[in-house]
Amino acid sequence: MTAGPVLAINCVSKTFHGEQGATHVLDTLDLTVHDGDFTTIIGPSGCGKSTLLKIIAGLDQDFQGEVLLKGKAVTKPSQEKGFIFQEHRLFPWLNVENNIAADLSLRDPDVRRRVDDLIRLVKLGGFEKAYPRQLSGGMSQRVAIARALLRKPEVLLLDEPFGALDAFTRGHMQEALLDIWQTNRTSMVLVTHDIDEAVFLSTRVVVMDARPGRIKAIVPIDLPYPRKRTGRSFTELRTLVLEKLEHHDEQEAYSI
């Protein structure tokens, strides 16, 4: 794994002006992601973790501070930042291979070859010609991941991508994602509210606090892959992350 920040988030703040006045969604937040990292951002709902991801992606440009991707400021969405939404968001009128290619032509031999490689990587061989309506949720999400990877992103941003899947499929998808990460070495930033998922996948877990959204703790997870969910060190780290998360709630209980 080579070091060097792929992503630098410096002093990012965002204020949402609603009917009840201003809400600080994010408050002077700093975070660095190194090349090849698997970073997971976890926190209670409303802590601004999805907003942060949208800001990194350039989909949300209404914020203070700066986001640097490989040293360059992010000002708009680009293919260097692959984004996986909560829902698969495939084009319903395109079949699997055309969805992956999207605006690129499959007649281009280079695109063709890379699409075929990706279909193999996300294990969708045999479904090239299927339409999204014929796919299960997990399969659709894998197509979405392949679509992002085809653009060779510097970083893959995943916004609770497995939240809508059943527990069984979620487990499979987590393993598939690890597989992709280990094969491609693409840096990953995953937003989730599933502690188990965070500890199972990432090299470090960023724990966020709500109102205002800020980073409370960063827990490095230095367990070897593949990880066993039932192992003792896994359980310990899981508990540690949980403690960091709940720390906030006690404080809040005091303040009330």
Partner 1 sequence: MAAPITAKGNLAAVPRPAAARRKAGGKWGIFIRGAILPALILALWQLFSATGFISKQLFSSPLLILNQYVELTRSGELPHHLRVSIVRAGLGFVLGASCGLILGMLVGMYRRFEETVNPTVQMLRTVPLLAITPLFIMWFGFGELSKVLLIALGAFFPLYVNTFLGVRTVDAKLFDVARALEFTRLRQMVRLVLPAALPNILLGIRLSLSLAWMCLVVAELLGADTGIGYMINDARSFMQTDIVFVGITIFALVGKLSDSIVKVLEARLLRWQDSYKG
Q: Can residue 164 be called a binding residue for partner 1 (CB under 8 A)?
A: no
Which bin fits 130, alpha (ψ -120 to 50), beta or left (φ > 0)? beta
Are the C-beta atoms of 10 and 30 separated by less than 8 Å?
yes
Over the window 40 to 59, marking each residue x when it contacts partner 1 by CB under 8 A and - when it does not, the resulting string is -----------------x-x
**Listed residue (169, 121, 185) closest to 147, CA to CA:** 121
Q: Can residue 151 be called a binding residue for partner 1 (CB under 8 A)?
A: yes
Please pick, from the candidates 87, 154, 179, 196, the single residue that binds partner 1 as defined by CB under 8 A. Answer: 87
Q: Can residue 213 be called a binding residue for partner 1 (CB under 8 A)?
A: no
Question: Looking at this protein, which amino acid is placed at residue 123?
Answer: K
User: How far is 78 from 57, CA to CA, in rounded Å?
Assistant: 8
Please pick, from the candidates 127, 162, 181, 200, the single residue that binds partner 1 as defined by CB under 8 A. Answer: 127
Q: Which tokens go with 247? A: 């720390």
Q: Can residue 126 be called a binding residue for partner 1 (CB under 8 A)?
A: yes
Q: Can residue 16 be called a binding residue for partner 1 (CB under 8 A)?
A: no
Question: Interface with partner 1 by CB under 8 A: which range of 23-31, 112-120, 122-130, 194-202?
Answer: 122-130
Q: Can residue 142 be called a binding residue for partner 1 (CB under 8 A)?
A: no
What SS3 class is residue 107? coil
Please pick, from the candidates 8, 68, 111, 130, the single residue that binds partner 1 as defined by CB under 8 A. Answer: 130
User: Residue 59, class by beta-carbon neighbours within 10 Å (0-12 exposed, 13-18 middle, 19+ buried)?
Assistant: middle
Q: Which tokens go with 105? A: 């032509």
Give the nearest distance from C-beta 4 to partner 1 in angstroms: 24
Residue number with CB closer to partner 1 (134 or 251)? 134
Are the C-beta atoms of 138 and 106 separated by less than 8 Å?
no
Q: Can residue 111 be called a binding residue for partner 1 (CB under 8 A)?
A: no
Question: Interface with partner 1 by CB under 8 A: which range of 20-28, 90-98, 195-203, 236-244?
Answer: 90-98
Please pick, from the candidates 43, 48, 132, 213, the single residue that binds partner 1 as defined by CB under 8 A. Answer: 132
Q: Beta strand pairing status for 187-192 and 155-159? A: parallel
Please pick, from the candidates 64, 134, 182, 235, the single residue that binds partner 1 as defined by CB under 8 A. Answer: 134
| Helix residue ranges per DSSP H, 137-231 | 137-150, 167-184, 195-201
User: How far is 112 from 19, CA to CA, in rounded Å?
Assistant: 50
Question: Looking at this protein, which amino acid is placed at residue 245?
Answer: L
Q: Which tokens go with 142? A: 């894998």
Residues that contact partner 1, how many (by CB under 8 A)? 32
Give the nearest distance from C-beta 105 to partner 1 in angstroms: 11
Q: Can residue 131 be called a binding residue for partner 1 (CB under 8 A)?
A: yes
Site of interaction with partner 1 (CB under 8 A):
57, 59, 76-79, 81-83, 85, 87, 89, 91-95, 102-103, 126-127, 129-136, 139, 147, 151
